[in-house]
Amino acid sequence: MAILVGRETRVICQGMTGRAGTFHAARMLAYGTRIVGGVRPGKGGTRHLGVPVFDTVAEAVAATGANASLVFVPPARAAEAMLEAIRGGVPLLVCVTERVPLLDMVRVRKALEGSRSLLVGPNTQGILAPGVAQLGVMSTTSAVKGGIGIVSRSASLTSEVVAQVTAAGLGQSTTVGIGGDPIHGVTLAQCIELLLADDETRGIVVIGEIGGSDEEQAAEAIARLRPRKPIVALIAGRHAPALCRMGHAGAITTARAGSAAHKIEALGAVGAHIAPNARNVGALMREALASAGG
CA distances from 16 to 127, 178, 293 (A): 18, 21, 46
Domains and CATH numbers, the chain: 11-120 (3.40.50.720), 141-291 (3.40.50.261)
pTM of the model as a whole = 0.94
Q: Is the Cβ–Cβ distance between 216 and 266 less than 8 Å?
A: yes
Question: Whole-angstrom Cα distance, residue 7 to residue 111?
Answer: 28
pLDDT band at 292 (very low <50, low <70, confident <90, very high): confident
Q: What is the pLDDT of residue 168?
A: 96
Residue-wise pLDDT tens digits, 6-58: 999 999 999 999 999 999 999 999 999 999 999 999 999 999 999 999 999 99
pLDDT band at 255 (very low <50, low <70, confident <90, very high): very low
Q: Is the Cβ–Cβ distance between 158 and 132 less than 8 Å?
A: no
Reference 38, options 127, 82, 59; nearest CA is 59
Q: What is the pLDDT of residue 244?
A: 62
pLDDT band at 268 (very low <50, low <70, confident <90, very high): very high
Whether the predicted pLDDT of 74 surpasses 80: yes
The residues annotated as belonging to the active site are 248
Whether the predicted pLDDT of 259 surpasses 90: no
Q: What is the pLDDT of residue 180?
A: 87
Whether the predicted pLDDT of 232 surpasses 50: yes
Q: Report the share of the chain in percent with pLDDT over 90.
A: 85
Mean pLDDT of 259-282: 94
Mean pLDDT of 180-193: 96
Whether the predicted pLDDT of 249 surpasses 60: no
Q: How does the average pLDDT of the chain come out, rounded?
A: 93
